[in-house]
Amino acid sequence: MIDLPVSNVNKPQDIDVLFIHPGSPSAVYQELGQDLSALEPPVLAALFATYVRNKGLTTAIIDVPVLNLNAGQVADLICRQYQPKLIAVVVYGFQPSASTQTMMAAGDVCRAIKHKNDALKIIMTGTHPAALPQRTLDEEDIDFVCDREGPITIYQTVMAIKKGSQHSLKQSPNPYSSIPNLWYRNDGKVHRSESSALIDDLDREMPIPAWDLLPMAKYRAHNWHCFEHITERQPYASIYTSLGCPYKCAFCCINAPFGKPSYRMWSPQTIIKQIDVLVHEYGVKNIKIADEMFVLNRQHVLGMCDLLIDRGYDLNIWAYARIDTVKDEYLEKLRKAGFRWLALGIESASSLVRDGVEKGTFGIPDIIKTVRNIQDAGINVIGNYIFGLPDDSYDSMKETLALAQETNCEFANFYSAMAYPGSKLYDEALTQGQPLPETWLAYSQHSYNCLPLSTATLSAGQVLQFRDEAFMTYYTNPGYLESIQKKFGMEVVRHINEMTNIPLKRKVC
């Protein structure tokens, strides 16, 4: 039986904005989604809910994946429980690429809602819609698309609807023309409004996510995140301490909603208030810092660490970093503050391959030294690697796998190079006429229909096959398993063995 939320009122509740977080873990991760992958709270939807609530609007959130609802059930729930003036479908993923792979589930939900009640107004926001706003408006059963980060546009759109101006599009001036970053239809034509600045004061506008609107007890951490206590993956939460990224890696689409490389931070004082709430009100110990690049700004990182150390919480935090941003002076404080994992974007062993996608100037000695320094500080490392980048060959991919085995990180993610909308690789693939996935779900690294990029010497099938074989090679390596047993115990080794016993079915081979 699916546990549906039950309203305490006899008639649907009038609210201004209903946020929907779409998704289907089983479609995206196949059998890995049943237990091994995380169920993360939709922190951006919760931040957006805070933004509109702070401006006096009423709001609610439906988190589709954690409630295990299909599209029809979402539509039924909305019509039974809510009368929203605007539905905001937030298609931000838990990593930038996850926005695109969620689009099929998002589209299904929108169609089901419109089939149930065509009068309901829907706006779609997120990394993928921002990258392809006109295509999203053309293909999906929605009324509006936001081509930037979301909150300002959502707020002004619902205010226009509340004034009743949605019924008078032909009036002059057009009621939607002054809403920033909005795409909409009028007289059968697609229109876009002018772009505006991003939210500048994050502390004031979105200080603490609206966790009270989410079923916080249902979320769980990734399996590897809890290797030190594998049976204690709940409760779990993720937070942002910054938005955007100052780098321009060709394979990444993180900056699609921001218009250009952007990096804005919440203050350490605001972040510690978020963590205080998570710890004291929800009993959270496992925390993900969802920033695309957390270990970057010295004052920001050490300021947060000092506040966490003063609190003395027993936390299990993980965050993203780069080889060239991890400084020795950070490590002791990160460990004392509760950072148990750092995820490093190593990507490739080849400097030629990394240069081709604007991924730093560090070399193999730098990579190995940084990994060892982190581990020596008592922090676990996740190495992230990509196969099939434009300058990759079979030999360079073998070198990358060899580097992964030499560094022997406590966990490793192996990816195929994908042309995600909003990335430079996507634009290049279109220019070069490279085959792209036929469905948005096929952009998922773990999906049956996954179709990575080909290279000058490798087909998409060869890249994907190498990726899958590299995964098995790494996680069945006796040396790796021995180090995991020594550090985490046999229970984690058994857990890893269970993971490798779940094969991914692939269409492309």
Confidence of residue 32 (pLDDT cuts 50, 70, 90): very low
> Binning pLDDT at 50, 70 and 90, where does residue 482 land?
very high
Between 386 and 173, whose confidence is greater?
386
**Two structure tokens written together for 290:** 């969802």
- Domain borders along the chain are 13-192, 220-500
Structural contact between residues 435 and 266, judged by C-beta atoms closer than 8 angstroms: no
**Cβ proximity of 496 and 483 under 8 Å:** no
Residue 260's pLDDT is 76
The CATH number of domain 220-500, selected from 1.10.287.470, 3.30.70.260, 3.80.30.20, 3.40.630.10: 3.80.30.20
Q: Using CA of residue 238, residue 244, residue 246, residue 251, what is the dihedral sign? A: positive
Q: How far apart are CA 362 and CA 346, in angstroms?
A: 9
Sheet holding 286-289, edge to edge: 236-239, 286-289, 316-321, 339-347, 380-387, 411-416
What is the C-alpha separation between 342 and 320, in angstroms, rounded?
Answer: 6
In the block, tokens 């996850």 appear at 98
Q: Please, are residues 397 and 425 in contact by the beta-carbon 8 Å criterion?
A: no
Cα of 262 vs its chain's centroid, Å: 17
Peptide bond preceding 235 in cis form (omega within 30 of 0): yes
For residue 50, give the nearest of 214, 294, 263, 194 by alpha carbon. 214
Quick one: pLDDT band at residue 507, thresholds 50, 70, 90? confident
Q: pLDDT band at 383, cuts 50/70/90? A: very high
- pLDDT at res. 176: 87
Q: pLDDT per residue over 184-236, tens digit each?
A: 998 888 999 888 888 989 999 999 999 999 999 999 999 999 999 999 999 99
Q: Which of 211, 206, 233, 232 is nearest to 221 (CA)?
A: 233
Alpha-carbon distance 368 to 403, whole Å?
9
At 107, the pLDDT band (50, 70, 90 cuts) reads very high
Q: How many other CB atoms are found less than 10 A from the CB of residue 178?
A: 12
Of residues 75, 82, 41, 14, the one with CA closest to residue 210 = 41
CATH class of the domain defined by 13-192: alpha beta
Average pLDDT over residues 226-252: 91
Question: What does pTM read for this prediction?
Answer: 0.92
Q: Do the domains at 13-192 and 220-500 have one common CATH topology?
A: no
A 10 A CB-CB count for 170 gives: 8
pLDDT band at 1 (very low <50, low <70, confident <90, very high): very low
* Cα gap 130→310, rounded to integer Å: 40
Write out the H or E segment, with its range, that includes residue 210: none
Give the tens place of pLDDT for each residue, 131-174. Answer: 999 999 999 999 999 999 999 999 999 999 998 754 554 555 67
Q: Are 317 and 267 in contact (CB under 8 A)?
A: no
- Residue 29 has a pLDDT of 46
Q: Give residue 449's Cα distance to chain centre.
A: 20
Task: Kindly report the number of other CB atoms within 10 A of residue 40's CB atom.
Answer: 23
Could you check whether the bond before residue 12 is cis, i.e. omega within 30 degrees of 0? Answer: no
